[in-house]
Amino acid sequence: MGRRIVAMKDHLSRAEIRKDAAQDAVQAAATAVGQVTAIVTGAVRDVAGALGGFATEIFEIRDSARKASDDHEE
């Protein structure tokens, strides 16, 4: 049985070898694209959260300044 496996490996055609190499390359590329997409998605999410937090702080500062100005006029 061991001889048969070795014999089958010896008979891989160049086309099969190229097909396997191409398949491995496509799978590696798909994995890399998936990883980069996850990184970019996370970065966009984090930036949106930071900008939202900044906008909230600006609104709070504006409201505080308005209240201080109203208190000063009284």
Q: Which domain holds residue 38?
A: 2-73
Which whole number is the average pLDDT over 39-57? 98
As for how many domains the chain has, the answer is 1
Across the chain, which distance is largest between two alpha carbons, in Å? 99
Which whole number is the average pLDDT over 17-40? 97
- pTM reported for the whole predicted model: 0.62
Checking 61-65 for CB contacts under 8 A at 24+ apart, the result is none
pLDDT of residue 48: 98
Q: What letter represents residue 2's amino acid? A: G
DSSP string, 2-38: HHHHHHHHHT--HHHHHHHHHHHHHHHHHHHHHHHHH
